[in-house]
Structure formats: C-alpha cells, structure tokens
C-alpha cells in the first residue's frame, strides 16, 4: 500500500495521505546527544525540513530549539508515528523520541 507523505505550508505541517497530521509548535522530549549537551532535550518543533518512511515508521528532520539551553538547529531523523493497515497513528507527545542517523528513510521527491 502506498502512503503519500508531504511537508505543507512552508514546513508547518506533515501531511499523511493528504491529511494534516503533525504540526509545529509542539514540545517533544528528544534523546539526541548530537543536538545539545542536555541529557534529554525539551525540543520545540519550529519547522519540518523533510519527511520519510522507514518500514512502517514515519520520520522527519526538524528545525527547532531546546528550551532548557537555547540551542537551535536541525535534528537527525526522528519518529513521529506509524502506518498500520494503511492508517496513520501519531506517537504520543510524551514519548521520548530517539534520533536515527544510520537508517535513512525513503523520501518523496516532489
């Protein structure tokens, strides 16, 4: 089954099958030692850079800021949800997200 993924509105939304599913301005808990020196990053999502799929997991690269130390920049790939039986299920906002450097998702071109 094909799933259509897009970044919409200049990086404000992730669209899955033409439905806006994930938006900026959310606060995510992120384990990303390469982003800043905080043990667990309290990350404010400011802009989605790209979206891809890794198996059933939808992943994104985002630009944002750690609210604890003020560091800003792009993350490595972060999971935002899964596609199960053709339906998108977003991960709970309280979930600790871990970056993935080694497994690059497939991305849409266009």
| Predicted local confidence at residue 3, as pLDDT | 82
Give the predicted TM-score (pTM) of the model: 0.84
Angle at 94 between CA 70 and CA 27, to 5 degrees: 30
| Predicted local confidence at residue 92, as pLDDT | 87
Structure tokens at 51: 């979206």
User: How far apart (Å, rounded) are the C-alpha atoms in residues 75 and 82?
Assistant: 19
- pLDDT, one tens digit for every residue, the chain (110 residues): 678 899 999 999 999 999 999 999 999 999 988 899 998 999 999 999 999 988 899 999 999 999 999 999 999 999 999 998 888 999 988 889 988 764 455 555 44
* CA nearest to 22, candidates 110, 109, 97, 104: 97
Using the CB atoms, write b or e for 87-105: b if 16+ within 10 Å: ebeebeeeeebebbeeeeb
């Amino acid at each position: 089954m094909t799933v259509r993924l897009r970044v919409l509105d200049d990086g404000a939304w992730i669209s899955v099958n033409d439905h806006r599913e994930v938006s900026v301005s959310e606060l995510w808990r992120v384990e990303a030692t390469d982003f800043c020196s905080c043990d667990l990053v309290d990350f404010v999502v400011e802009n989605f850079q790209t979206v891809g799929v890794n198996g059933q997991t939808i992943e994104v690269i985002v630009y944002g800021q750690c609210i604890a130390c003020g560091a800003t920049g792009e993350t490595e790939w972060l999971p935002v949800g899964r596609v199960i039986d053709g339906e998108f299920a977003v991960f709970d906002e309280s979930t600790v997200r871990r970056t993935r450097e080694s497994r690059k998702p497939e991305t849409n071109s266009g």
